[in-house]
A and B are shown apart, each in its own frame.
Chain A
Amino acid sequence: MKNMFFKKKNFTKIIASALCAAFVLTGCGGGDTANKSDAVEKYGSDTLKLFNWGEYMGADLISNFEKQFGVKVIVEYFDSNEMMYTKLSAGDSYDVLVPSDYMIERMLKEKSLMSLDKSLLPNLENLAEGVKGLPYDADNTYSVPYFWGSVGIVYNHNNVPKDQVEQQGYGILKNTDYKGKIYMYDSERDSFMVAFKALGYSMNTDSDSEIQSAYEWLKELNDTMEPVYVTDEVIDNMMNGSKDIAVVYSGDAATILAENEDMSFFMPNEGTNIWSDAMVIPANSENPKLAHEFINYVLTYDASYDNSETVGYASSNQQVLDDMSAEGGLYDGNEAYIPRSGYDKDEVFEDNEVLRQKLADLWIKVKASK
């Protein structure tokens, strides 16, 4: 009698009801198929496959695009360029990707990107000055910037005097007054960038002696300052004021400053890394026309505003940039919103396989030494 519950009949009933519950819970998806045939006629297909960073789009971006053009967008998310690259190398085809600058450079070397048809991208004229002429693709032949920013120091101005930060720059991360109160970014590229800049070297250096010095700089920091290595947790932690100093991306800093009045942002005089994420079309895209349409759409004022408002990163649309930082704008007075541009000590990451490998190996040693 004990096994009566598990008899075949009951099992089927239970599973059937579970499936029904699942269906009901998720509801039926209604589709507006009115414009479907138009889209197929115009673009060849009505589906766009987008591969983007997680939490990197405005709340209504996708649904507005779908409604306006009568198409469907399938979005997949990645959380690092390397993960994106791995999935791509397995042969998955997407229509629009949003990789970072160094990854775009790498993909250009491998010839896996499609060159853009500028006649389909009239909104390119909306591009902000700060993202034009980026070294990896100066004429926007293959990429259209999506967000950009820099890396800087977020600090609690109640506990850390402003002029001290400005005077010491990255050196403040080794100021033992703040021992145990700093966050470092758990990324070899960004942390080594800090070390290189602090020592006055280029962050794309080839010199083994400079790399060794940077390694020792970081090791000393690790041993004397008790830093906590974080990635995206730094945003929430600094919003709660858990520590006094952190190395943060400018867009994340803008969010932190907006939520916590005690925090300020500073881009050191030693220079920093100017990064950008840009939209590209892979060579094996099945729907390039629709992909162009999407890129063009993102550059419109409304879409860019939605993006920048939700994510907090600096938009690639000049007008949005101006409006956000103008009087009464969302990020008015937020010194982290617009990255510095035109400063000669700021650099863009170059794709260097050898350097990358060396830094990866040394970074493990930095964190391990104690």
Chain B
Amino acid sequence: MKKSKLLSKAYLLFLVIFFYLPIVYTVIFSFNSTRSLTHFESFSLRWYEKMFHDSTMTDAIFYTILIAVLATIISTVAGTITAIGLSKSKHIVKNIVGQINDLPIMNPEIVTAIGLLMFFSALNVKKGFLSLLLAHIMFCIPYVILSVSPKLRSLDPNLADAALDLGATPWQALVKVIVPQIMPGVISGGLIAFTMSFDDFIISYFVTGNGVTNISILVYTMSKRINPSINALSSIIVLIITLVLVLVNVVPMLKERKGEKLT
């Protein structure tokens, strides 16, 4: 019995190392004083300084975060409302909309990218921030709908009616009864949408313009020579994501404990 536990722990450790070693390597070498990726010379913040002085990089970071946050919020709201509406629609409407919804997910990204490129050109929309944002919202919504719909199916249909009977307005019934129950689905849909938007490359590359770039495009076009500032950028992204994940998971736990202590 003990042996298999040890084995499974060792296996888990091996997996963790396998996944995270490249990231650790990147972070360590982002503090290297020379360009080399094989020999660590000495500790230095040279590449971080270079990164913050490079306005192309800081602009890219700014746009990536801004687009990701905006696209997540808008697509989460739109997706949730759509999913709620769909759950109450006729069977055939559910089918058709469901299939249309699945298309962006199943389509290879390059097809979506070229399609959007031609779409925006046909409508004479000047490519730039707006076209990028619209494209991101477009491919994020399906993920939100897919996350929220299962939660809706497990909903008790009578609760909303009960709320209305007890004097709630439709808006209150929606916000105070339905939404809190499907909240886990909405949150996970939002997180998926954020992830898809944050690291999107191929769709962003084709629909952006006017100097608006994001981190993925920047890294791709800088792949000619290893630029250690990219390591610095990656390390910062890893740091931010780790912080966000820690916050999202630890803070509710702490609040729960506080709540328990009070009662």
Residues of A within 8 A of B (CB): 1-6, 15, 18-19, 22-23, 25-27, 29, 49, 54-55, 74-79, 83, 86-87, 90-92, 232, 235-236, 240, 255
Complex Cα distance, B39 from A240, in Å, reads: 11
Within the complex, which residue of B73, B183, B259 is in contact with A6, where a contact is CB–CB below 8 Å? Answer: B183
Complex Cα distance, B29 from A305, in Å, reads: 31
Q: Which residues of B contact A75 (CB under 8 A)?
A: 56, 211
Q: Which residues of A contact B211 (CB under 8 A)?
A: 49, 74-76
- B111 interface residue per 8 A CB criterion: no
User: Are B121 and A91 closer than 8 Å at their CB atoms?
Assistant: yes
Complex Cα distance, B65 from A86, in Å, reads: 27
User: Are B69 and A15 closer than 8 Å at their CB atoms?
Assistant: yes
User: Are A4 and B255 closer than 8 Å at their CB atoms?
Assistant: yes
Residues of B within 8 A of A (CB): 37-38, 55-56, 58-59, 61-62, 65-66, 69, 73, 114, 117-118, 120-121, 124, 127, 180, 183, 187, 205-206, 209-211, 213, 217-218, 220-227, 251-252, 255-256, 259
Complex Cα distance, B162 from A330, in Å, reads: 81
Chain B nearest CB, measured from A47 CB (Å)? 9
Chain A nearest CB, measured from B169 CB (Å)? 17
Given contacts A1-B255, A1-B256, A2-B256, contact A78 B62 (CB under 8 A): no
User: Are B209 and A76 closer than 8 Å at their CB atoms?
Assistant: yes
Q: Which residues of A contact B217 (CB under 8 A)?
A: 77
Q: Which residues of B contact A55 (CB under 8 A)?
A: 221-222, 224-225, 227
User: Are A29 and B55 closer than 8 Å at their CB atoms?
Assistant: yes
User: Are A92 and B127 closer than 8 Å at their CB atoms?
Assistant: yes
Q: Which residues of A contact B117 (CB under 8 A)?
A: 86-87, 90
User: Are A26 and B62 closer than 8 Å at their CB atoms?
Assistant: yes
Can you report 29 residue pairs joining A to B where beta carbons are below 8 Å apart?
Answer: A1-B255, A2-B256, A3-B180, A3-B183, A5-B252, A18-B65, A22-B61, A22-B65, A22-B66, A22-B69, A23-B62, A25-B61, A26-B59, A26-B62, A29-B55, A49-B210, A54-B223, A55-B221, A55-B225, A74-B211, A75-B56, A75-B211, A77-B213, A79-B220, A79-B224, A86-B206, A90-B120, A90-B127, A91-B124
User: Are B73 and A15 closer than 8 Å at their CB atoms?
Assistant: yes
User: Are B187 and A77 closer than 8 Å at their CB atoms?
Assistant: no
Complex Cα distance, B224 from A235, in Å, reads: 8
User: Are A5 and B255 closer than 8 Å at their CB atoms?
Assistant: yes
The 4 tightest CB contacts between A and B, nearest first, are: A54-B221, A74-B211, A77-B221, A26-B62
Q: Which residues of A contact B210 (CB under 8 A)?
A: 49, 74
Q: Which residues of A contact B205 (CB under 8 A)?
A: 83
Chain A nearest CB, measured from B79 CB (Å)? 16
User: Are A79 and B55 closer than 8 Å at their CB atoms?
Assistant: no
Chain B nearest CB, measured from A80 CB (Å)? 10
User: Are B224 and A27 closer than 8 Å at their CB atoms?
Assistant: no
Q: Which residues of B contact A79 (CB under 8 A)?
A: 220-221, 223-224
Within the complex, which residue of A92, A236, A240 is in contact with B209, where a contact is CB–CB below 8 Å? Answer: A92
Q: Which residues of B contact A19 (CB under 8 A)?
A: 65-66, 69
User: Are B252 and A2 closer than 8 Å at their CB atoms?
Assistant: yes
User: Are B221 and A26 closer than 8 Å at their CB atoms?
Assistant: no
Q: Which of A26, A79, A91 has its CB near the most chain B CB atoms (within 10 A)?
A: A26
Complex Cα distance, B176 from A3, in Å, reads: 12
User: Are B225 and A232 closer than 8 Å at their CB atoms?
Assistant: yes
Q: Which residues of B contact A91 (CB under 8 A)?
A: 121, 124
User: Are A26 and B58 closer than 8 Å at their CB atoms?
Assistant: yes
Given contacts A90-B117, A236-B225, contact A25 B66 (CB under 8 A): no
Q: Which residues of A contact B183 (CB under 8 A)?
A: 3, 6
User: Are A18 and B225 closer than 8 Å at their CB atoms?
Assistant: no
User: Are A87 and B206 closer than 8 Å at their CB atoms?
Assistant: yes
Q: Which of A5, A29, A87, A235 has its CB near the most chain B CB atoms (within 10 A)?
A: A5
User: Are A5 and B251 closer than 8 Å at their CB atoms?
Assistant: yes
Given contacts A6-B187, A90-B117, contact A26 B61 (CB under 8 A): yes
